[in-house]
């Protein structure tokens, strides 16, 4: 009969290990999910990336940001392919992700030393609900291990912000960073400074907007939005502050195209309001509406990596 252990029980059984954060974000409309794993050291995360890429499974791509491992995966199930090299190098992978109400169940397999990561390290992270171990479970050495890790179902919430400053004082990117770090709801994940068209007549200095993202359970989404509105209102020096809100792991192509073109094109508010409505973006006036274009553009640029911080000529 399978054994089900909570994180504290795993830690008591195997001793303290190294996973500092473990969040499972899902986007059921697009059939995709993202698994974010925060490691205590970069080395194990690099090793995990190589081994998980090797096995395939449901992984679409996997990257490292500092000591945070970010896996984009499919919702569903795919066989793992450890290959003939696994006998010498070990291996690790995720073969299944299923949404079960407000929970997510992932199936992990590991060989040799890699089995410790999925059998004891991730399962003792406080963000995990429980881990299911099969009869006769063994890990480490020459053993192969398989476990089911159950986590809360979370979504990604992206909040774009613009026009909180004036020519004399304030900085929108600072407001965004402070908001992310102070919010008592969800898990603050990313912060982006988004360079927009420097020829905008109404700009303060650099014409930058900002955006932040959270991993959150559904019930915390309205709490984060309410907190963001109150926080930006309190921190804003401008009468044009706006936030824009988008929920999901995949930024619509029309929205990302707009974000990129907003670095060189001047848009009117009517165009942006229509674009937001068509692409699931909620625009909220905090102290006014002047920042709507920049706030929506920040969401459009959110997944562009370093390109978000520049203009097209920087990458020619």
Q: What is the SS3 string spanning 298-315?
A: HHHCCCCHHHHHCCHHHH
Taking the C-alpha atoms of residue 297 and residue 162, their distance in angstroms, rounded to an integer, is 9
The pLDDT assigned to 169 comes to 80
For the cut 80, the answer to whether the pLDDT of residue 241 exceeds it is yes
For the cut 70, the answer to whether the pLDDT of residue 180 exceeds it is yes
Nearest to 254 by CA among 277, 283, 270: 277
How much of the chain, in percent, has pLDDT values that exceed 70?
Answer: 95
Taking the C-alpha atoms of residue 45 and residue 40, their distance in angstroms, rounded to an integer, is 9
Contacts of 187 by beta carbon, 8 Å cutoff, 6+ apart: 21, 23, 154, 214, 215, 216
Query: What is the per-residue pLDDT across 278-294, written as a single tens digit (0 to 9) for each?
Result: 999 999 999 999 999 99
- What residues does CATH 3.30.70.2200 cover in the chain? 155-315
For the cut 60, the answer to whether the pLDDT of residue 79 exceeds it is yes
Specify the fold of 155-315.
Answer: Alpha-Beta Plaits (3.30.70)
For the cut 90, the answer to whether the pLDDT of residue 303 exceeds it is yes
Taking the C-alpha atoms of residue 203 and residue 291, their distance in angstroms, rounded to an integer, is 10
Beta-bridge partners for 76: 97
For the cut 80, the answer to whether the pLDDT of residue 87 exceeds it is no
Residue 64's Cα: distance from chain center in Å? 12
The pLDDT assigned to 204 comes to 63
What 3-state class would DSSP assign to 86?
helix
Taking the C-alpha atoms of residue 142 and residue 90, their distance in angstroms, rounded to an integer, is 9
How much of the chain, in percent, has pLDDT values that exceed 90?
Answer: 80
Among 52-66, 137-151, 194-208, the range with the most confident prediction by mean pLDDT is 52-66
Worst-scoring range by mean pLDDT, 49-63, 74-88, 163-177, 258-272?
74-88
User: What backbone torsions phi and psi does residue 291 show, to the nearest 5 degrees?
Assistant: -90, 10
Worst-scoring range by mean pLDDT, 47-61, 78-92, 300-314?
78-92
pTM of the shown model: 0.94
Taking the C-alpha atoms of residue 47 and residue 92, their distance in angstroms, rounded to an integer, is 10
The pLDDT assigned to 141 comes to 67
Is the separation of the CB atoms in 224 and 183 below 8 Å?
yes
For the cut 60, the answer to whether the pLDDT of residue 88 exceeds it is no
Nearest to 271 by CA among 281, 150, 106, 218: 281
Beta-bridge partners for 209: 194
Nearest to 304 by CA among 313, 312, 294: 312
Where does the pLDDT of residue 230 fall: very low under 50, low under 70, confident under 90, or very high at 90 and above? very high
**pLDDT mean across residues, the chain:** 92
For the cut 90, the answer to whether the pLDDT of residue 218 exceeds it is yes
Alpha helices in the chain (DSSP H): 7-14, 42-55, 86-89, 114-116, 172-182, 221-235, 253-261, 269-278, 292-300
pLDDT average, residue stretch 67-92: 81
pLDDT average, residue stretch 223-232: 98
User: What backbone torsions phi and psi does residue 63 show, to the nearest 5 degrees?
Assistant: -140, 165
pLDDT average, residue stretch 174-197: 97
Taking the C-alpha atoms of residue 106 and residue 98, their distance in angstroms, rounded to an integer, is 7
Query: What is the per-residue pLDDT across 12-56, written as a single tens digit (0 to 9) for each?
Result: 999 999 999 999 999 999 999 999 999 999 998 998 898 898 888
Where does the pLDDT of residue 90 fall: very low under 50, low under 70, confident under 90, or very high at 90 and above? low
Where does the pLDDT of residue 311 fall: very low under 50, low under 70, confident under 90, or very high at 90 and above? very high
């Amino acid at each position: 009969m399978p054994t089900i252990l909570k994180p504290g029980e795993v830690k008591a059984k195997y001793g303290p290990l190294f996973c500092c954060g473990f969040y499972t974000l899902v986007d059921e409309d697009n059939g995709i999910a993202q698994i974010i794993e925060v490691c205590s050291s970069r080395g194990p995360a690099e090793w995990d990336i190589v081994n998980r890429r090797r096995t395939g499974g449901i992984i679409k791509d996997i990257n490292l940001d500092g000591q945070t491992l970010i896996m984009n995966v499919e919702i569903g199930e795919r066989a793992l392919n450890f290959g003939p090299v696994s006998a010498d190098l070990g291996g690790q992978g995720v073969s299944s992700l299923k949404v079960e109400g407000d929970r997510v169940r992932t199936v992990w397999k590991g060989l040799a030393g890699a089995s410790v990561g999925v059998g004891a390290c991730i399962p003792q992270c406080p963000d995990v609900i429980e881990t299911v171990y099969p009869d006769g479970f063994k890990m480490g050495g020459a053993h192969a291990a398989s476990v089911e890790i159950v986590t809360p179902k979370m979504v990604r919430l992206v909040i774009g912000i613009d026009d909180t400053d004036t020519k004399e004082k304030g900085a929108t990117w600072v407001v965004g960073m402070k908001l992310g770090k102070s919010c008592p709801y969800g898990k603050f994940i990313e912060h982006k400074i988004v360079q927009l068209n420097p020829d905008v007549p109404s700009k303060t200095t650099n014409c930058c907007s900002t955006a932040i993202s959270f991993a959150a359970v559904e019930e915390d989404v309205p709490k984060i939005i309410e907190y963001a509105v109150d926080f930006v209102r309190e921190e804003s020096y401008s009468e044009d502050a706006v936030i824009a809100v988008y929920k999901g792991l995949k930024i619509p192509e029309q929205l990302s195209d707009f974000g990129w073109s907003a670095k060189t094109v001047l848009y009117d508010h009517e165009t942006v309001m229509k674009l937001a409505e068509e692409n699931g973006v909620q625009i909220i006036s905090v102290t006014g509406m002047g920042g709507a274009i920049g706030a929506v553009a920040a969401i459009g640029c959110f997944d562009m990596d370093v390109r978000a911080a520049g203009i097209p000529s920087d990458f020619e």
